[in-house]
Chain A
Amino acid sequence: MKKNISPQSLIEQYINAGIIMTEALPNGDYKTNNREAKKLKKIKTDFLENNLDLAKQVFAEVMKSENDKARSIAAADALRLNILIEQAIDVLEDVAKRADIIGFGAETSLKIWRGEFPGKTL
């Protein structure tokens, strides 16, 4: 049974995951990274995909946070749920300016969104 959870807690979990992934992804630490990715997927499935008002509240805040990976994941997730489109694209365009693999992820999100990878959706 799903527990009730506060928006603030979900926001913090997204940002924490972003912080951990920012360290793990460029270092090839896939086990740590994938553990966080699975946590975020569960959060979306359990709390956000069926509650778009809550999703908007959470993603809008995470996209304003300081961690670029958290921001870009929230933006990609917003696009996946077809919400907060303008803010999400602005965030991805901003993070895509980074030269590292975090920037690459944001750039690729935009390419997928724009249909540049045949058969792929975010």
Chain B
Amino acid sequence: MWASGGEAVRELLSTPGALWELSKAIYNKELSLNDLILALGSTGTDIAGTVDYILRHSDSVWFGNPSDKEVYEYGRNLGHLLQTVAGSGSGAATKVISKTAPKTANILSKTEGAGKGFDNFNALKKNLGPAGEGKAWHHVVEQSQIQKSGFSPQQIHNTNNVIAVDSATHAKISGYYNSIDASLSDTMRVRDWLAGQSFETQYQFGMDVLKRFGVTK
């Protein structure tokens, strides 16, 4: 089982056959993007604009004479769609894709159970509800790593990457990440030192920190 949707998207990008299969299904209107949106639930509503873009531009990108900018935008939107499906860990969404693009679905299915990812923290909090009295939602891999390490928002704002922590401890842990821990580096703050490490390494680091602050056993 993969820890994040990002890994699935990376594998998809290195499997041109799967991407072509998916694109063909979209172009031939064999893949029901409306069913896909429904299967993704609230996340699906958020990406309706992305799906609309893909539908409107598939013809010109695949069989027209598109500019570099059009190809780039199309790829960006397709990537966003895939990342959303992978980040959602939604079995229903993967099932919709499997009807017309089994290779793609096979790769995406590895993310089932990987948690549900969102585009931003507000959307995640809306899905999860309050952390509890005197508690805050704490990211195991920090939000700053979207910028610093290039992780996707869906990996970071993911149900598997947050834990309810009492607010005082949350502040202490945030302070630790802002500290130069001279045992790790004599010049870099912890969050800067972590930048560039894999998601899995940073997740394990974050879980270890939670343990050392007495949040988990």
Residue ranges of A at the interface with B (Cβ–Cβ < 8 Å)? 21, 24-30, 33-34, 37-38, 40-41, 44, 69, 72-73, 76-77, 80, 99-101, 103-106, 108-109, 112, 117-120, 122
A76 contacts which chain B residues (CB < 8 A)? 182-183, 186
B178 contacts which chain A residues (CB < 8 A)? 28, 30
Q: Which residue of A lies closest to B175 (CB)?
A: A28
A103 contacts which chain B residues (CB < 8 A)? 212
Select one of A37, A38, A119 contacting B196, CB under 8 A: A119
For B202-213 the 0/1 string (1 means CB < 8 A from A) is 000000110011
New A-B contacts (14) at CB < 8 Å, excluding given A40-B186, A122-B184: A26-B213, A27-B175, A28-B171, A28-B173, A28-B178, A30-B178, A38-B180, A72-B183, A73-B182, A73-B183, A80-B186, A101-B213, A105-B184, A122-B185
> What does DSSP make chain A's interface, helix, strand, loop or mixed?
helix
Residue ranges of B at the interface with A (Cβ–Cβ < 8 Å)? 171-176, 178-187, 189, 193, 196-198, 201, 208-209, 212-213
Q: What are 19 A-B contacts defined by CB distance under 8 Å? A: A25-B179, A28-B174, A30-B175, A30-B176, A34-B179, A73-B183, A76-B186, A80-B186, A101-B181, A101-B209, A101-B212, A104-B208, A104-B209, A108-B181, A109-B184, A118-B198, A118-B201, A120-B197, A122-B184
Report the separation of the CA atoms of residues A100 and B176 in the bound assembly, to the nearest whole angstrom: 12
Q: Which of A77, A80, A120 has the most CB of B within 10 A?
A: A120
CB distance from A48 to the nearest CB of B (A): 11
A38 contacts which chain B residues (CB < 8 A)? 180
Kindly list the 5 A-B residue pairs having the minimum CB-CB distance in the complex, ordered from nearest: A28-B175, A105-B183, A28-B172, A37-B180, A30-B178
> What does DSSP make chain B's interface, helix, strand, loop or mixed?
loop
A101 contacts which chain B residues (CB < 8 A)? 176, 181, 209, 212-213
CB of A25 within 8 A of CB of B176, answer yes
Report the separation of the CA atoms of residues A100 and B208 in the bound assembly, to the nearest whole angstrom: 10
Q: Which of A28, A72, A76, A106 has the most CB of B within 10 A?
A: A28
Report the separation of the CA atoms of residues A117 and B202 in the bound assembly, to the nearest whole angstrom: 10
Select one of B183, B187, B213 contacting A106, CB under 8 A: B183
Contacts A101-B212, A103-B212, A119-B196 hold; do A41 and B175 have CB atoms under 8 A apart? no
